[in-house]
Structure 1
Amino acid sequence: MAVLVALGAFLMTLAGGFTAQRVTDRRHLVLGLAGGLMLGVVGLDLLPEALEAAGTEILGVPAALVLFVAGFLFAHLVERLLAHRHGAGEDARPALSPGLRAGRTPEVGLTAAAAMVGHSAMDGVAIGAAFQVGGGMGTAVAAAVVAHDFADGFNTYTITSVYGNARRRAQAMLFADAAAPVAGAASTAFVTIPEHLLGAYLGFFGGALLYLAAAEILPEAHHAHPARSTLLCTVAGVGFIWLVVGLAG
């Protein structure tokens, strides 16, 4: 049953990715919306779940928040290291494609998209675990996952392509992200993940996602088009996630 329900997440993720792909002529609006969706997912979905699931404290600070900061710093470190490596060979490489600023390295986009795939797999695990508790719980969790997987697909395609990866790579990461919930749900027939480890993962992933949204996606959205419409798209993205979380609760 959990695997069948996860197919809904598969389709919703693809729908989000194909939407992002079709509106490339309004790239700044896409990035503004993606940044808002990412901010909403982190602040209104991932962090509350992480704080509830992790439970323990480290030197008086909730473990989920410590790992949240660690995830932010890790994403910053990875991006800087990859950008430095990219810059070292810049003179031997062709010019950057239009719309891609200096310092944008395709590896960062692929790494971020891979993290999104991992998150989607954990969504599938959550569906499977909820159905193990009961049908009502499984249905509620599945509805929440399916609802926000549109945003996951949108963000996965956007964050892969904005770093200069070819369209084929972005589509491959999108399909991987779509298939991940199905694989995660199927895995619950064999594996159960302790709740505190799930909370730690959500905190770490939330920090990394916030870095990408605040330090990369949103500045890029306003780089060439500092328009009011871009800001409105960001606010709309946050509002959409708030609505989804509120209805799912």
Structure 2
Amino acid sequence: MRFAPILLALVTLVSTGLGGTAAIRLRDRLHLLLGFSSGAVLAVALFDILPEVFAFDHGASYMPITALGFLAFFGLERYTAMHRAREHPHLAETHEAELGAMSAAGLAFHSFLDGVAIGVGFQTSVKVGLLIAFGIIAHDFSDGLNTVTVVLAHGKSHRDAIFWLIVDMAAPVLGAA
């Protein structure tokens, strides 16, 4: 069981790769892929995480804070996008490319932390490690999909999308190690 976290992180590598490959093959339907991956993330939050929050004694009191956080993030993103386009139209393409790379780096860091979670789970117990690993394996298809779509959606090249996909695929293995 010593190498179980790394072996299971290698399975996440495959899952992420399959999602990224699907996004590359279906890149002409990028808007549909972005909708699917966004829906998957929201479904996890609404149907998996929120019921756990409501299980706490005062879980419902966190809902207004959660809603305000989401609205603040959404509003800030819309404001900065409009400001960038209006004030600096000549820099819009450069900013889009930078945003694509930053988003992909954020997703790769998220995947690294997934690997750390697998490793820590196995240090707790084999049962906890397996539970965490299987959850991460299940959602890593969407991680690969998201990584490629966010890079392509921000005007980066096919080569850049593959580069970031490989980084995202390797990140959980490094985190588990």
Shared fold (TM-score greater than 0.5)? Answer: yes
Q: 1:31 aligns with which of 21, 30, 34?
A: 34
Q: CA deviation at 1:24?
A: 2.0
Equivalent AA in structure 2 for residue 155 of structure 1: N
Instruction: Determine whether 1:12 maps to 2:15.
Output: yes
Q: CA deviation at 1:139?
A: 1.6
Q: In 2, are the aligned partners of 1:20 and 1:157 still within 8 Å (CA)?
A: yes
Q: 2:115 aligns with which of 124, 136, 140?
A: 124
| Distance of 2:69 and 2:107 partners within structure 1 | 17
| Distance of 2:6 and 2:67 partners within structure 1 | 30
TM-score normalised by structure 1 residue count: 0.57
Equivalent AA in structure 1 for residue 34 of structure 2: L
The aligned counterpart of 1:185 is 176
SS at match of 1:105: helix
Query: CA 1:153–1:85 in 2, change beyond 3 Å: closer, same or farther?
Result: same
Query: CA 1:132–1:93 in 2, change beyond 3 Å: closer, same or farther?
Result: closer
Q: In 2, are the aligned partners of 1:86 and 1:105 still within 8 Å (CA)?
A: no
1:64-83 → structure 2 map (5 Å cutoff): 66=65, 69-70=68-69, 73-74=72-73, 76-78=75-77, 80-81=79-80, 83=82
| Distance of 1:176 and 1:72 partners within structure 2 | 31
Q: 1:135 aligns with which of 115, 122, 126?
A: 126
User: What is the aligned-residue identity percentage?
Assistant: 36
Q: 1:105 aligns with which of 96, 104, 111?
A: 96
| Distance of 2:34 and 2:135 partners within structure 1 | 24
Query: CA 1:167–1:79 in 2, change beyond 3 Å: closer, same or farther?
Result: farther
- Greater share of residues in helix: 2
| Distance of 2:75 and 2:155 partners within structure 1 | 18
Q: In 1, are the aligned partners of 2:30 and 2:149 still within 8 Å (CA)?
A: no
Q: CA deviation at 1:153?
A: 0.7
The aligned counterpart of 1:176 is 167
Query: CA 1:168–1:76 in 2, change beyond 3 Å: closer, same or farther?
Result: farther
Unaligned runs of 5+ in 1: 97-103, 187-249
- CA-based RMSD of the aligned residues comes to 3.2
Unaligned runs of 5+ in 2: none
Q: CA deviation at 1:169?
A: 2.4
Q: CA deviation at 1:146?
A: 0.8
What is the aligned residue count? 172
Equivalent AA in structure 1 for residue 15 of structure 2: M
Equivalent AA in structure 2 for residue 38 of structure 1: V
